[in-house]
Structure 1
Amino acid sequence: MKPDLEILPGRFAIAKVRDFDGVRFTPFTFLARTDAEWSVVCREEEAPENALAKETGFGMLRIPGSLDFSLTGILAGISDVLARAEIGIFAASTFDTDYILLKEGQMRAAAWALEQEGYVVRRVETQA
């Protein structure tokens, strides 16, 4: 099964932070805290000013809809296509689905590579 993919509008950032103070909880904000680090993925204009490290200029792909937990290989298939095209990714997941960030300048090449493998990739506009 090859899911459709959506290219979300906007630019995104990935930041390493000391804590989540000052992080704005706007749409498309992902937080991760492990024993080793705290990270934030957010719209570029929302990136924390006090970040310890920050990468900007990412585009975001989304697998629309809700993916059942019994499904396997969805993200692996997409990442394999992009790896063969020499496009690095940063994946983030929610309860329902997966998101894939890649450098914005590589979005066209990523869409082309995915379409060659039978994926449908389309741009969407979001209200949030």
Structure 2
Amino acid sequence: MTISLLILPDEFGLYQFHRDYRFSTEWLNELPWYTLSKTSGEVSLLCPAQYHSTTTDPSLATAAKKNELGWRCFQVDAQMDFSLIGILASIIDPLRDNKIPVFVVSTFDTDYILVKEDMLEKAMGVLNRQQGIVIRPGSSVVL
């Protein structure tokens, strides 16, 4: 089985907010791509980094407890059936073995594996050497 990964050209930012932080629905709807997670201790937002200090009120840069810019994203280029086993591990394990930290987001359809910009070239080299993994350029998530 071949795993096709798309390397997205966009830079992403990861933001942590207090658990009770309230986003403007109007503002979230303006984002072209985001993932939002809420747990008992925090709210995390991943979105294109160009929205870091936009005209939102307040901006992500000031509203977040923590933020980390400079993430780049590999998208699994397939709809992932829940019965498939080991796809994500076959991508993450070689990165782990080469001491490349990752941040992973899964959706109903697919997975996104993010690495820091300064590790992108190394990550691409590691993944390109893996039998059964192919990396191709992807499209921007910013419309």
By the TM > 0.5 criterion, same fold? Answer: yes
Check if 1:95 corresponds to 2:142: no
**After superposition, where does 1:11-90 map in structure 2 within 5 Å?**
11-18=11-18, 19-22=21-24, 24-25=28-29, 26-47=31-52, 48-49=60-61, 50-90=63-103
Number of residues of Structure 1 aligned to a counterpart in Structure 2:
128
Larger Rg: 2
C-alpha separation in 2, matches of 1:44 and 1:126:
12
Q: Find the aligned partners of 1:105 and 1:85 in 2 and give their Cα distance.
A: 14
Indicate the residue corresponding to 2:5 in structure 1. Answer: 5
Residues 29-57 of structure 1, C-alpha deviations (whole Å, 9 max, x = no match): 00000111110001112232311100000
Q: Is the 8 A contact 1:29 1:42 kept in 2?
A: yes
Q: Which runs of 5+ in 1 are unaligned?
A: none
- Is the 8 Å Cα contact of residues 4 and 78 (structure 2) preserved in structure 1? no
TM-fit CA distance, 1:124: 1.8
Contact 2:15 2:65 in 1 (8 A): yes
Cα distance in 2, alignment partners of residues 29 and 94 from structure 1: 11
User: Are 1:24 and 1:46, in contact at CA under 8 Å, matched by a contact in 2?
Assistant: no
Change (3 A) 1:103 1:52: same
One-letter code aligned to 2:110: T
The question of whether the paired residues in 2 share the 8 Å contact of 1:12 and 1:43 is answered with: yes
Counterpart AA for 2:8: L
Q: Secondary structure at the match of 1:105?
A: helix
Stretches (4+) displaced over 2 A:
22-25, 125-128
State percent identity of aligned pairs: 34
Cα distance between partner residues in 2 of 1:93 and 1:61: 12
Q: Distance in 2 between matches of 1:2 and 1:20?
A: 41
Partners of 1:73 and 1:20 lie apart in 2 by: 36
Q: RMSD of the alignment, in Å?
A: 1.5
**TM-score w.r.t. structure 1 length?**
0.92
